[in-house]
A = this chain, B = another copy of it.
Amino acid sequence: MAYANALAVLADPTRRKVFERLRAGPRPVNALAAGLPVSRPAVSQHLKALKNAGLVEERSEGVRRIYSLRREGLMELRDWLDTFWDDALAAFKEEVEKT
């Protein structure tokens, strides 16, 4: 049920913006916070949430913490989305849930 966490975390616009910025590659917190309409501590908190959801990973580089995208964190969400197109599978799962 990790897709639930991914959904909850990505629902916030600011947090999603931070996440999207990581598409361009690993970045330190300062770079991620630059230009955003919120304070740097706010971004730190968002990164913590993203990390807990398995959507980013962190590596220390001297005084910097370099955050990078973790695509595996999106896999479950992707799979969950797919269940809405595969009707046979969906019907089956629905049946299982009843028992």
Contacts and interface: CB of A to CB of B under 8 A. Distances in A.
A45 interface: no
- Counted per complex, copies of this chain come to 2
22 contacts: A4-B16, A7-B11, A7-B16, A8-B11, A10-B11, A21-B94, A23-B83, A23-B84, A23-B87, A23-B90, A23-B91, A23-B93, A23-B94, A24-B91, A24-B94, A69-B84, A71-B84, A71-B85, A74-B84, A77-B81, A78-B81, A81-B81
Given A7-B7, A21-B94, A24-B90, 8 more contacts: A7-B10, A7-B11, A7-B16, A11-B11, A23-B91, A23-B94, A69-B84, A78-B81
A71 B83 CA distance: 11
